[in-house]
Amino acid sequence: MYKTMSRKTLVALLCCASLGLTACNDDNDQEQTSPNEKVTEPTLISFAKLPVETYAAGPDSGAYVKGANGIYPPFKGQPVQGFSAALKNEDGSYMAMADNGFGTQDNSADFLLRIYKIKPDFKTKTKGTSQVTVQSFIQLRDPNKLIPFNIVNGDTAERLLTGADFDPESMQRTSDGTYWIGDEFGPYLLHFSADGVLLDAPIALPNPLHPTQELRSPQNQFNKAQINFVEPLVQQSGGFEGMAISSDGQYLYPLIEKPIKSIRETERQLLISQFDVKKKAYTGKYYWFQLDSQATNIGDFQLFNDKEGIIIERDATQNNLGGYKKLIRIKLNESGQLVGREDLVDLIKIANPNMLYGIAREGDIGTGQVFAFPFETIEDVIIENGTTLTVFNDNNFPGSTGRNAKLADDNEIIQIRLPKALF
């Protein structure tokens, strides 16, 4: 394994026994963040970044994109980018899932859907390099032919999944080691084994007001093939974006990214549905999240007990210190009701007394004593403990320019200390 030391780095994933199989064990445990250090405001305590031009083993990609910000195809291998969901491992590493690749179904047929195992060496007040090691990956695939519509690699034995097949935007891992992934195109719930094999056919989302009716997006694969067409009420790029799991692992709570057409659309409320993991079925319970007047969508959803959690709420701006990027503390109420909400962290105004970003490049913004996360797509929050949160950006390789208007964004990972414990 190699650490990404420069902007152009080809990651040799030597720990992978074959394409798509995770085979690494890391004995170097990451030091756990201590919740004991007191702060008076949300404070940056750790920083790391994976350079934008980090590539993993695999076929060349980018044949259907033009490139941007000085980075142009063909890309040598698979870009390790666009982290749309992340989970913490016991050894201090993270499972970071890439989204559909280059932004649309039409341009991502050569982007392979993967979950990467990464290990940050966080820069803190006392130590750390801020570098991130890519250790291995899980390749998502459907060798058992459970997907009931055509996929890009449908005629191959492994049926490796691509960004033209699904747009994975949220992820949880259950006690049996399997992964549940929320897809934006269907939207669907997808269930994978620990090594990436699809275990069940994609599970559609029912309309909570008309349970026999399926909710679909304009990118839904059946609709595009004119099979059992259903009027798409889920907005374009508005399917599953966040997904929490209950403390006991019994329920998933997938959250739609944008308001559903004709269903509380004018009220700007987002649907949260309850899904029974054991029964592999929706329970019929649902909740509504009220968007702030400045927000356009959400980025992630995690629970820290059975009722309370955190949602990333944001607008569509980037490279703007006046943008709206917040962590919202929420509380589930009764089914059919709005969830309670209160501001938790303004991601544009984070105290940075130890100047953890390091040396700023010409044009970088938000790197000083007041640190900002000025990215359009902030899509991952992990609750490390009662006072420590980890947040990732999705860098939309190579198009986003949130940190610097003239440079493609890296994958940044930050840890924030809260002044008041969540639990």
Is residue 132 in a domain?
A: yes
Mean pLDDT over 330-346 rounds to: 98
Q: Is the pLDDT of residue 407 over 50?
A: yes
pLDDT at 37: 80
CB proximity list for 332: less than 8 A, separation 6 or greater: 253, 272, 287, 306, 307, 308, 309, 339
Terminal CA-to-CA distance of the chain, rounded, Å? 37
Q: What is the pTM of this model?
A: 0.92
Is residue 136 in a domain?
A: yes
Dist. CA 26–CA 76, nearest whole Å? 27
Nearest one of 413, 362, 368 to 391, comparing CA atoms: 413
pLDDT at 35: 61
Q: Is the pLDDT of residue 343 over 50?
A: yes
The answer to whether the peptide bond before residue 74 is cis (omega within 30 degrees of 0) is yes
Phi (first) and psi of residue 222, to 5 degrees: -70, -40
Domain containing 333 equals 43-417
Nearest one of 81, 88, 119, 87 to 103, comparing CA atoms: 81
Is residue 344 in a domain?
A: yes
What's 219's domain CATH number?
2.115.10
pLDDT > 90 fraction of the chain, expressed in percent and rounded = 90
Q: Per residue in 250-267, pLDDT tens?
A: 999 999 999 999 999 999
The answer to whether the peptide bond before residue 187 is cis (omega within 30 degrees of 0) is yes
- What are the tokens at 89? 């491992």
- DSSP string over 187-212: TEEEEE-TTSBB-S--EEEEETTEEE
pLDDT at 272: 98
Is residue 25 in a domain?
A: no
Q: Per residue in 214-226, pLDDT tens?
A: 999 999 999 999 9
Is residue 29 in a domain?
A: no
Q: Is the pLDDT of residue 36 over 80?
A: no
Q: Per residue in 42-84, pLDDT tens?
A: 999 999 999 999 999 999 999 999 999 999 999 999 999 999 9
Is residue 38 in a domain?
A: no
Going 171 to 176 to 177 to 179, the CA torsion angle's sign is: negative
Q: Is the pLDDT of residue 373 over 50?
A: yes
- Give CA 123 to chain center in angstroms: 22
pLDDT band at 337 (very low <50, low <70, confident <90, very high): very high
Is residue 14 in a domain?
A: no
Please give the tally of structural domains in the chain: 1
Out of 16-20, 129-133, 159-163, 209-213, pick the least confident: 16-20
Is residue 315 in a domain?
A: yes
